[in-house]
Structure 1
Amino acid sequence: MSSTSNRTLVLVRHGQSEWNLKNLFTGWRDPGLTEQGVAEANAAGDRLKAAGLHFDIAFTSVLSRAQRTLDLILDRTGQTGLETIRDQALNERDYGDLSGLNKDDARAKWGEEQVHVWRRSYDVPPPGGESLKDTGARVWPYYIHTIQPRVLAGGTVIVAAHGNSLRALIMALDGLTGEEIVSRELATGVPIVYRLNADSTVASKDVLDA
């Protein structure tokens, strides 16, 4: 394990998926990466390698777009075969009845204002789905009990997940309100590197974009 002064947490949203490209609500559905998504994951791996980051353990969701992104990153950083834990606690927000629908079609069916509320409010879920608050309710305990201890023990930990599961984590790490976090865009395939203090607060945050 790395030195206890390390305490590094890397968050990466998966590369562009086929349904991102088609403007569809994805949620727990399982489309693959596009060619651009593969390129984004490879670029993320190159940036992490250039930053000299060597991981002790990886976490990802049970969805293939996050797992493939992680595999590509680990291949580029020379860490194929790294211990990896997959858990649905890190899955994307469940969009319920919206899953698989084109966002424009959803607006035509329910109205632009209603769809905007479902997408961008903190605590209003779409029919049969989760709000961002609901997503946080499964992400936060998993982070506190499973991921954070590995970081605080001095590890360098990578989490490859999804826009909303990572938003929930970033909300807690950055001390943001529900209103603040829903307006934050999270780019695909761009690593965010946190260094934590011994008390689990954030010492520094760096975004490794192009």
Structure 2
Amino acid sequence: MSSGERTRLLLIRHGESEVTVKQIIGGDLACTGLSTLGRRQAEALGERYMQGYEPKVDALWSSTLPRAIETADLLSPSLGGLKVHTHPDLVERRPGEADGVGYQEFGSLFEWTGDFHPHLPLAPGGESLAAFSYRTGQALYELVEGYPGTTMMVVCHGGVIDIAMRLFMGLGMNTQFVLWTLNTSITEFVTTDEPGVWRLVRYNDAAHLDGMPPRTEPAD
């Protein structure tokens, strides 16, 4: 495979969300999009792409959650007005009955003890880690197999990027590490000459956020 035919995947974590500011779990029901800071973060990333130093993007994809779609919509003009394609399986881990529940309330409402059991759902009606991993991995596989030789930008979530790191680097779900993926940061993978082997070009590149007030938050 020549370098010109390589598939490049740019994973962008959405901008800061309103649900993070409110400290609630944001699934399909609770997510209302970006905070004011989140919009500024997305605009800063767009300005970075307008400078012309980043790889040219051929296709723009997004999770179907409002915070991801709004981020992608703000990025589109800086990418030549690319259409935002959405994929329902690029969303964050589905919270079920925990959707809209406050971070501090969660522990008292649901008997969840962490991801010690991969098939334990986050809350009734929600996803287990195993189901989330399979669903997200399948969605990413569909994209990279369906659009070989292109550069795709995928606006998604911290949990999705965690799964991608494990998938493309050949790490199992039981491998212990903690990621702290920043809002609108860039994580980049590219194919190599060896079939099925990807190279991690960068993780958590948020140089465009220099000078902005950071917000400490869990991956979502």
Q: TM-score range by the shorter chain?
A: 0.7 to 0.9
Is 1:202 the counterpart of 2:204 in the alignment? Answer: no
- Partner Cα separation in structure 2 for residue 116 and residue 190 of structure 1: 29
What amino acid is aligned across from residue 73 of structure 1 in structure 2? L
Residue 175 of structure 1, aligned match among 170, 173, 187:
170
CA contact (8 A) 2:92 2:160 kept: yes
TM-score (norm: length of structure 1): 0.83
What amino acid is aligned across from residue 58 of structure 2 in structure 1? D
Report deviation, 1:22.
1.2
- Partner Cα separation in structure 1 for residue 69 and residue 113 of structure 2: 29
Taking a change above 3 Å as real, the CA distance of residues 155 and 34 of structure 1, as seen in their structure-2 partners, is same
* Paired positions, count: 201
Unaligned stretches of 5+ residues in structure 2: 208-220
Taking a change above 3 Å as real, the CA distance of residues 21 and 179 of structure 1, as seen in their structure-2 partners, is farther
Taking a change above 3 Å as real, the CA distance of residues 44 and 200 of structure 1, as seen in their structure-2 partners, is farther
What amino acid is aligned across from residue 72 of structure 1 in structure 2? L
Residue 125 of structure 1, aligned match among 121, 124, 127:
121
Taking a change above 3 Å as real, the CA distance of residues 172 and 191 of structure 1, as seen in their structure-2 partners, is same
Q: Secondary structure at the match of 1:45?
A: helix
What amino acid is aligned across from residue 33 of structure 1 in structure 2? L
What amino acid is aligned across from residue 65 of structure 1 in structure 2? R
Taking a change above 3 Å as real, the CA distance of residues 78 and 57 of structure 1, as seen in their structure-2 partners, is closer
Deviations 1:144-194 (A, max 9, x none): 2233441xx321110001222232222201222323467322222111122
Deviations 1:66-100 (A, max 9, x none): 1111121222x2421x1432121111211111110
RMSD of equivalent CA atoms = 2.5
What amino acid is aligned across from residue 192 of structure 2 in structure 1? N
Is 1:71 the counterpart of 2:67 in the alignment? Answer: no
Report what 1:90 is aligned to: 90
Identity of aligned residues (%): 23
Aligned positions of 1:1-210 closer than 5 A: 4-29=4-29, 30-50=31-51, 51-75=53-77, 77-80=78-81, 82-110=82-110, 114-115=111-112, 117=114, 122-126=118-122, 127-150=124-147, 153-180=148-175, 183-198=178-193, 199-207=195-203, 208-210=205-207
Report deviation, 1:129.
0.3
Q: Secondary structure at the match of 1:117?
A: coil
- Partner Cα separation in structure 1 for residue 79 and residue 18 of structure 2: 27
What amino acid is aligned across from residue 22 of structure 1 in structure 2? K
- Partner Cα separation in structure 1 for residue 117 and residue 22 of structure 2: 23
Report deviation, 1:5.
4.1
Taking a change above 3 Å as real, the CA distance of residues 13 and 45 of structure 1, as seen in their structure-2 partners, is same
